[in-house]
Amino acid sequence: MESERNGIMWSEEETILAFDLYCRIPFSKINKRNPQIIVLAHLLGRTPSSVGLKMANLAHYDPELQKRSVTGMGHASKLDEEIVSRFINNWEALSYQAKKIEALFQDKSVEELATYGTLEMPVGGNREQLIIARVNQQFFREAVLSSYHQSCCITGISIPALLVASHIKPWSACDPKTERTNPRNGLCLNALHDRAFDKGLITVLPNLTIRVSESIKARSSNDGVAWLQQCDRQRIHSPERFSPVKELLEYHNDVIFIP
């Protein structure tokens, strides 16, 4: 079945699904043996090789890879360019649109697929808004964690249950279209450092070095804060892609961090 559509031109819906997955797995793991690519190939009735090639074509238009002189495959189409251009600064639309298409292909509802997290109903919101929030949070977590190879960018901890896709600029203050679901507004942190980052006890400067609040540095290491104290002026592990946006780091430095 997987090869039934081999040779048939890719549709817009299929390309959106490929780009959604492209954003959720490391660029270095785009190959026909990747389990997630195999699952998508089966869903689309294509071969894993075909899906991998499509994702490599989409990489041709990735502005972040272009900055690093990584061009992807040379057979990208106008549709590939249009899809990347449409969603590269509208992440919320990408994640929800992709989930709706996936639900259609599986003959399921988006709600059946939007199982991530235990978000509560937004104040004044409705069930659709809750579902959209769940879809966006799942996309954000997967994209951020894959960018940092499933490990904390400060400590290197790689236990999934302890990892958080931490927003640099808080969710509540974000522009829904360009920031809230943008993987470049995220850091992969363990739960302790995520909490400290969220409360402004640590921050990350635009040069990707860490600063620790004086209120933490002044405490005795016997208080159990050595984990935080020792990371001052260290550099975080750089992501494979979706590098943090300089202006968002500056926002955290200026608004959230407690010097």
pTM here is 0.88
Nearest to 21 by CA among 4, 45, 37, 38: 37
pLDDT digits (tens, 9 = 90+) for 121-133: 455 567 788 888 8
Structure tokens at 135: 């879809």
* Continuous segment of H or E residues that includes residue 65: helix 63-67
CA dist., res. 117 & res. 163, Å (int): 14
In the DSSP assignment, the letter for residue 245 is P
Q: What is the pLDDT of residue 99?
A: 95
Q: State which residues of the chain have pLDDT below 70.
A: 1-7, 66, 68-75, 116-125
User: Domain limits of the chain?
Assistant: 12-88, 127-256
Q: Are 138 and 181 in contact (CB under 8 A)?
A: no
Which residues pair with residue 178 across a beta bridge? Answer: none
Q: What is the pLDDT of residue 127?
A: 78
pLDDT digits (tens, 9 = 90+) for 21-33: 999 998 889 999 9
| DSSP-derived pairing of the beta strands 163-167 and 210-212 | unpaired
